[in-house]
Amino acid sequence: MGTGRWLGFLLILALSASFAESKYLKYKDSKQPLGARIKDLMKRMTLAEKIGQMTQIERAVASADVVKQYYIGSILSGGGSTPGLRSTASDWVNMVNNYQHGALSTRLGIPMIYGIDAVHGHNTVYNATIFPHNVGLGVTRQDALIIIIDLDPELVKKIGAATALEVRATGIPYVFAPCIAVCRDPRWGRCYESYSEDHSIVQLMTEIITGLQGEIPKNSKKGVPFVDWKKNKVAACAKHYVGDGGTNKGVNEDNTIINKQGLFGIHMPAYLNSIVKGVSTVMISYSSWNGVKMHANHELITNVLKGKLRFRGFVISDYEGIDRITSPPHANYSYSIEQSINAGLDMIMVPDNYNEFIGGLTNLIAKKAISMSRIDDAVKRILRVKFTMGLFENPLADTSLSSKIGCQEHRDLARRAVRESLVLLKNEKIGSGRRMLPLPKKADKILVVGTHADNLGNQCGGWTIEWQGVTGNGLTSGTTILSAVKSAVDSKTQVVFAENPDENFVKNGGFSYALVVVGEQPYAETKGDSQDLTLSEPGPAIIKNTCGVIDCVVVLVTGRPVVIQPYLSSMKALVAAWLPGTEGQGVSDVIFGDYGFTGKLARTWFKTTDQLPMNVGDLHYDPLFPFGYGIETKAI
């Protein structure tokens, strides 16, 4: 072969090798180490692509074109934000995949991650299983000691796994749950999202993360996120970092006034448990710590969470969270962007004004107010989660899991959770010499009354279909307490329902006994903040008109302890049912004695609101019902 031909041959080989190398993208090779994939992708990314990864927008303003044009890294459903009324699994999957196609059509094809609140089941989706809120799950234990040794974390683990399946059935891979706040004042409207006033209970209940994400491998490095994608798990989010449950007088988004020892001793421990379990993301709280907004707190986010606790997932803001850095909100958005990103936030829940956020962040980087090293840290963390959860290999969803939404197995689990979350607070003897509870199934005629007896919306509470919840029975499918009672009693027993009867109706009805089901109207944060914690009207009148006439059991459907002392003497039995969700049979299972009462208070029940805040271990501790209290009964 001549010299010219030989050189030509070598040139062809070199060009072929170069072409092959350009076609090979290391970051798309699942056999490559995680670090190598992240490094390879990072070096290919432009600034615009990096900023896009840090941007999370609301589905209502999103489209495949917007995702493609701005390289959007994440989309969310805010409270009540759905593809349409009573959307099916197919509706959700098609919507999510549409956005995903926009992400995959970008130059680098980085998949977006879709997130949604799933705080007591897949709570935004019609027909999903709605589990008891955390305030109820925190009482599912057998031991009344301050040092809790016999909680039921396996139950919440199973609830996490069931929730993950129903979320994945709609094509969504990421949930903004669990809330691991330690609520120290029930006046806070998010108190029902907290497992307990005692951090040791909250710590144990972080086992729900294992249910959502899967069992972390034994050889995993501390703080590295883990999601078992092949077993239909989802990325979880521990929230709201940190101290959100300790705000002054329970006012939402307010100031948590506590020294460093108190913050780290009460509000921080559950985050360490979450990180050890491989939680993928951490959401920052709207609240402040001693006057410093958490969304701008570099010490607690960068130095503590990312530094001392070695968290390696990504840190996300709350909904318009960075806007709240200033007062009034959004008063100086450029300042808010600068403070939050420099504090250590990686992904910003914008959620609507993405043009303003992207432009503002781009400008701050150009002015060197935010360093490229800070941007690279944020993007690496986001990519780490996406790679770890298998999103690059499996970016598109299908409807193969659609049958899991509201399936019987999950409803049975929720029914069990309701049973275990009930706390019996009072159970007097009645004329026959027996205790009021359990109730006899065989009776001539029984009366069921109250605003919450036949109202699924009231039974589920806030964060159910809509952000603030919905009263009534049209919101989703489930079983009300009234329906459960009718199914539980003997076929010859007549069940009469009157939502708000007068005293004469009760007196002259010839009833064997009455079941009074009252409580709070649905609410979520801010709207649910309450300084008086009274029962919603006409609850007090219903108790008076019923329990003052015949033997009655009062079942409270509330998101927290409420003022009950003035009415306590008139009732023969009192049950705290919290917010049980869609499976009302769990209540009837226990009040009729098929199962015994086992729940113990995970919150102190006060006498008057003048005592608040009051928590177990306080110097002046004089509760109506103490932490750990709960009368146990056996099944009959």
- Report helix, strand or coil for 445: strand
* Largest interatomic CA distance in the chain: 116
C-alpha dist (Å) from residue 594 to 371, 416, 509, 581: 63, 12, 28, 20
CB 376 within 8 A of CB 407: no
**How far is 108 from 211, CA to CA, in rounded Å?**
32
φ and ψ at 288, to 5 degrees? -115, 160
Percentages of the chain per state (helix, strand, coil), in multiples of 5: 40, 15, 50
Tokens coding 626: 């103490």
CA-nearest of 281, 228, 168, 160 to 390 is: 228
CA-nearest of 70, 63, 73, 58 to 99 is: 63
Marked catalytic residue, from 166, 197, 318, 346: 318
**Residue 318 catalytic?**
yes
Tokens coding 34: 């995680």
Question: Hey, how many other C-beta atoms are within 10 angstroms of the C-beta on 563?
Answer: 16
Please report, for the chain, how many H helices and E strands are present, in that order.
Answer: 22, 17
- Report helix, strand or coil for 288: strand
Rg over CA atoms, the chain: 27
φ and ψ at 494, to 5 degrees? -90, 125
CA-nearest of 173, 221, 219 to 35 is: 221
**Residue 525 catalytic?**
yes
CA-nearest of 415, 388, 411, 410 to 165 is: 410
CA-nearest of 320, 322, 286, 284 to 300 is: 284
- Report helix, strand or coil for 618: coil
DSSP H/E element including 209: helix 208-213
C-alpha dist (Å) from residue 100 to 53, 124, 288, 305, 441: 13, 20, 36, 31, 54
Question: What's at 326, amino acid-wise?
Answer: T
CA-nearest of 30, 13, 19 to 390 is: 30
Tokens coding 385: 């989660």
CA-nearest of 457, 567, 581, 592 to 515 is: 592
3-state secondary structure 502-552: CHHHHHCCCCCEEEEEEECCCCCCCCCCCCCCCCCCCHHHHHHHHHCCCCE
Marked catalytic residue, from 193, 420, 525, 583: 525
Strands (E), 30-126: 55-58, 74-77, 113-116
DSSP letter, residue 267: I
DSSP letter, residue 316: E
Question: What's at 525, amino acid-wise?
Answer: E
Q: Supply the residues annotated as catalytic.
A: 318, 525
